A and B are shown apart, each in its own frame.
Chain A
């Protein structure tokens, strides 16, 4: 109703005042997906360095798991090739499974750690795996945060 509409407007207004910090990719090990763990100065006042580094390192581990070239990926590749890759029409690839885990992890981190500090992480897959974006908001009541999350899921 009118109240929901008003809350959404407020959220969008607060989003417009957001400063965004973009954590870029770390290409030092090649083209595998890895993000820089260097703590940006803009977040110094908002969050502890160790929490930030933990989050990025865990994300990097997830991506490394997804892109690992080993026994399981060979098996998946050969099996898929033998079926002319038709198996991908019904089966989820390993990468997609890990992406789901990552989405859950990010949501958890947002709810537990970042939202209480007025920050919001965006899943890198929504930015073409180029950046992890941290949005800094002015302090907003938790109820608006959970609403924003529901809005995002839809």
Chain B
């Protein structure tokens, strides 16, 4: 009897766990909810189109043709940064394969020793010393790994992300190690674009009003009112956000660490990753190496191996090592799984946003970060308070 070979090539992205959506055969990777991202696109493209249609003809003739040219370049840069942030892998850490997960479980059980029945085993934490600072590495029950320092599990995308900053609904993706600099450049260039359009809107209205009067100007270029409104509200939020992230970069901190107050100075803890030099910190974050994706989305799945990347354990390949990951691992993890504890975590006021969110004129719009959904954190914090 001959084996039946599957003729369709299955790429690895099709079998990746987590709640991401993929496009272009795995080249594009985004979060599931993209509504706010479309709003961002609409606002940027819409406002710029109005600017090019209404203001630019007048300004190019009466002031300088360089104005629309520079606006176009800036607009293209903003779009490039936005798309790069939204479409790239933020630094997702792949889940542990069954053997690695088992190995870690065995190490944990060896370290814990015998736990009396009925008692909760100690929290799964590994201590490492980084630059004379003790950093606690927490275990992720979903991904079955000890998270590297600065990594965090995003509950919206259901992935552990390296150097997790926050999940940004405006770009429709997590912001992490691989796309943080694109995100920062996006907010920076968008601030510049907003200021630019706002300024030249005012200039245009003033210049035209001198000739034809204020009300006539508004009638001739109705787009101006819309542009000014959008720019006004965008200015407050985006410029504030850029300022906030500039501050974070100069200290080499992530939004996640800032929200949780990891390095706020309590108990003499200091940020072990900071070079204590603003220039060095900026250079590391913005001009550091371009990290590769470890996800291998476009690799081909080996057809005749029973989907080794996905969670159902392959039946034939593990006969000497029993499948302890799912069954004999402490039963208590079911209580600790992120989904159960998610609603009860009151770490931060941020919550997962609804898809159709409106721009709010808050002076500084805090990035909507998803709190780390680890039960141990809340338990330890509760004990500490």
- Taking Cβ atoms with an 8 Å cutoff, the residues of A that contact B are 5, 8, 12, 15-17, 20, 22, 25, 27-31, 66-69, 73-74, 76-78, 80-81, 84-86, 88, 93-96, 99, 125-131, 133
CB < 8 Å: which of A8, A81, A126 contacts B185? Answer: A81
**B94 at the A interface (CB under 8 A):** yes
A84 to B296, alpha carbons, bound, how many Å? Answer: 24
When C-beta atoms are compared, the residue in chain B nearest to A27 turns out to be B128
Q: List 23 A-B contacts (CB under 8 A).
A: A12-B305, A16-B318, A25-B148, A27-B135, A30-B273, A31-B149, A69-B284, A69-B288, A69-B289, A76-B289, A77-B288, A78-B287, A84-B81, A85-B182, A94-B290, A95-B289, A95-B292, A96-B292, A125-B296, A128-B93, A128-B294, A130-B145, A131-B100
Q: What A residues does B320 contact at CB under 8 A?
A: 16-17
Given known contacts A27-B149, A78-B287, is B103 in contact with A22 (CB within 8 Å)?
yes
Interchain residue pairs A-B with the least CB separation, the first 5 = A77-B287, A84-B80, A128-B94, A93-B290, A27-B128
**B344 at the A interface (CB under 8 A):** no
Q: Which of B232-285 contact A (CB under 8 A)?
A: 272-273, 283-284
CB < 8 Å: which of A69, A96, A130 contacts B93? Answer: A130
Contacting pair A69 B163 (CB below 8 A): no
Q: Which of B46-97 contact A (CB under 8 A)?
A: 76-77, 80-81, 84, 93-94, 96-97
The binding surface of chain B is classed by DSSP as loop
The binding surface of chain A is classed by DSSP as helix
Contacting pair A15 B148 (CB below 8 A): no
When C-beta atoms are compared, the residue in chain B nearest to A99 turns out to be B292
Interface size range of chain B in the complex: 35 or more
**B3 at the A interface (CB under 8 A):** yes
Contacting pair A127 B100 (CB below 8 A): yes
How far in angstroms is the closest Cβ of chain A from B174?
Answer: 16
Contacting pair A127 B287 (CB below 8 A): no
Q: What A residues does B317 contact at CB under 8 A?
A: 12, 15-16
Given known contacts A84-B80, A93-B292, A131-B100, is B286 in contact with A77 (CB within 8 Å)?
yes
Contacting pair A133 B100 (CB below 8 A): yes
CB < 8 Å: which of B130, B182, B319 contacts A27? Answer: B130
7 new A-B pairs (CB below 8 Å) besides A27-B137, A73-B288? A22-B100, A27-B148, A28-B128, A30-B149, A31-B163, A88-B290, A127-B100
- Taking Cβ atoms with an 8 Å cutoff, the residues of B that contact A are 3, 76-77, 80-81, 84, 93-94, 96-97, 99-100, 103-104, 128-131, 135, 137, 145, 148-150, 162-163, 182, 185, 272-273, 283-284, 286-292, 294, 296, 304-305, 316-320
How far in angstroms is the closest Cβ of chain A from B73?
Answer: 9
A26 to B294, alpha carbons, bound, how many Å? Answer: 18
Contacting pair B182 A30 (CB below 8 A): no
Contacting pair B290 A76 (CB below 8 A): yes
CB < 8 Å: which of A69, A73, A84 contacts B77? Answer: A84
Given known contacts A27-B130, A30-B131, is B103 in contact with A80 (CB within 8 Å)?
no
Q: What A residues does B318 contact at CB under 8 A?
A: 16
CB < 8 Å: which of B148, B287, B304 contacts A31? Answer: B148
A80 to B182, alpha carbons, bound, how many Å? Answer: 11
Contacting pair B316 A16 (CB below 8 A): yes
When C-beta atoms are compared, the residue in chain A nearest to B160 turns out to be A128
CB < 8 Å: which of B129, B150, B288, B316 contacts A28? Answer: B129
